Amino acid sequence: MALRYVVQVGDEVLRKKSEEVRKFDKELFALLDDMKETVRAENGAGLAAPQVGVSLRVVVIDLEEGYFEMINPKILSVKGEQTGGEGCLSVKGKQGIVTRPNKVKAEYRDRHGRKHTVTGEGLFARCMCHEFDHLDGILYIDRASEVFDEPKDGE
């Protein structure tokens, strides 16, 4: 496993539409292992492959609900609305206010290509929307009602 460099806003890979994963092979496993190490090292809630310069539909999410590896994810349905703070490892030092669905049902494949369905609420739902957006070249700052400098003292 190795830490990967997290690219910052302005890098064009963040604006590309990512490709579907077709090969569930060792290269994918290495990418996922590195993304896990990287998201934890950066204290992030999630990370999408374009953020480490790889234009593939791969996301990791690391929350209280558990650690998820989501490949070729697709939102099946959404419910409700939440408005709250959001940040991104590719937009360092900033936070924004973003309105997202409060509940998201999604399907995805795991690293072995097996299909799963998951329903997330609150932060988990927000996180899925944020990370899946990355796969279509969308950043939270595109959706935020306001963006401001992150407070210096901790959160």
If the CB atoms of residues 32 and 88 are measured against Co ion, the closer one turns out to be 88
Among 54, 71, 88, 104, binds Co ion (CB under 5 A): 88
* Between 26 and 149, CB nearer to Co ion: 149
Distance of closest approach, residue 129 Cβ to Co ion, in angstroms: 11
Exposure string for 63-90, b = 16+ CB within 10 A, e = fewer: beeeebbbbbbeeeebeeebeeebbbbb
Q: In the range 25-84, which residues lie near Co ion by CB under 5 A?
A: none
Closest residue to Co ion, based on beta-carbon distance:
88
User: How far apart are the C-alpha atoms of 98 and 140, rounded to whole Å?
Assistant: 7
Indicate if 131 belongs to the active site. yes
Q: Which of 131, 146, 150, 155 is catalytic?
A: 131
Tally helices (H) and strands (E) across the chain: 3, 8
The residues that are catalytic are: 131
